[in-house]
Structure formats: C-alpha cells, structure tokens
Amino acid sequence: MLLNRKILSEYSPYPSQYDLTEVMQYVDVAEKLWILPLIGGAMYDELCEEVKDNNLTPENATLLVEAIYPLLGFAVAYEALPLTWASVTEIGVVKGHSDNSDSLTLKDITYVSEHLKRQLQARGDYALEWIKDRIEYYPLIAECTSCKCSCQPKDLYKPKSFQQLYSPRRKNTNLR
C-alpha cells in the first residue's frame, strides 16, 4: 500500500477531521485501478517496498509527491464514494448515517461522481505527462515501456467508445 491515513487526509478531498476508517479499505482498489496501469508492475512493487521499509529514494519520493499521491487521493475518494457519502439502511440508500436522513437523488450522485471523475482525469493526465517528461529517472517504467508487456503504462484517460470519460455536461440536469 502506497499511502497511509495521514497522507490520504493531505491529498484527498476529505476534511482533515474526517474519520478515514471506512475509506482506507478502498486504497488497494484505487491503487490497482488507477496507479498500477499508469506506472507498471515493477515500479509499483518497488514503490510499495520502499514505502513499507520507509526507505524512499529521492526520485521515488518526488514521483509519489508530485504525481502519484495527488491522483491516488482522489482515486480513493472516487472509488469509496458510493458507500462513504451515503449509507445503506433498512429503508434504502440515504444521505448521512441514520434512517432519518434524506434519500439520495440521482442528481446528487451524478454531480459528485462527475466532479470526482473530472478531477481524476485532470490529475491522471498531469501524472502521465509528469512521468513522460522524467522517464529517464525511472528505469523500471522505461524498461516496461520498451518491452510492450501487459504492465506497460497505459493512457487510461482518453475517451473509449464504451465510456464517455470526456463527455460534455448534460444540458438537462433535472433528473428525477
């Protein structure tokens, strides 16, 4: 795991006093979905080992602070959104944490989800460009790029035919 509670609270949109207990379970998922495809398996394993041993090289520390943590903080928030922003109770999905809370509307969920997705796209594009501009400092990423293996960094942030990541905002937002 690349980040702990302290780092997550610094780089995520959660308030500093927020209890991150529920959110921490989504760190591994976010790393696998958003970071591993970006930097490749070899670099990911090296970073995890160095973080675990608290023995980061200056280059890897810079990579984490400049490119990985800003992306990962929002990726964790995005992945945790459905069950941290709302709660599942006997009466259904509600805002807050009690049965007396208001029900979520499709408009609420869509707004927050789209906002986090746009943040992820921008931060992911920045991380990818940052890494490409400094690829000579990261031989494990460069090695992976040249071998064309499955762990090769991929450009995840461009539109795909089945996913409209860069879709324009909807004109009619009166969702019921």
Q: Are 70 and 11 in contact (CB under 8 A)?
A: yes
Q: Are 123 and 70 in contact (CB under 8 A)?
A: yes
Between these two residues, 82 and 51, which has the higher pLDDT value? 51
Average confidence (pLDDT) over 38-60: 94
Greatest CA separation found in the chain?
56
Average confidence (pLDDT) over 84-95: 68
Query: Any residues with CB less than 8 A from the CB of 46 and at least 6 apart, and which?
Result: 60, 140
Q: How confident is the model at residue 97 (pLDDT cuts 50, 70, 90)?
A: low
Query: Exposed, middle or buried: residue 43 (CB in 10 Å: 0-12, 13-18, 19+)?
Result: buried
Q: And the tokens for 90? A: 């006997």
| Whole-number Cα distances in Å, 156 to 1, 38, 43, 61, 134 | 21, 8, 17, 23, 19
Mean pLDDT of the chain: 79
pTM of the model: 0.74
Q: Count the Cβ atoms, other than its own, within 10 Å of residue 15.
A: 7
Residue carrying structure tokens 């609420």: 108
Q: Are 144 and 153 in contact (CB under 8 A)?
A: yes
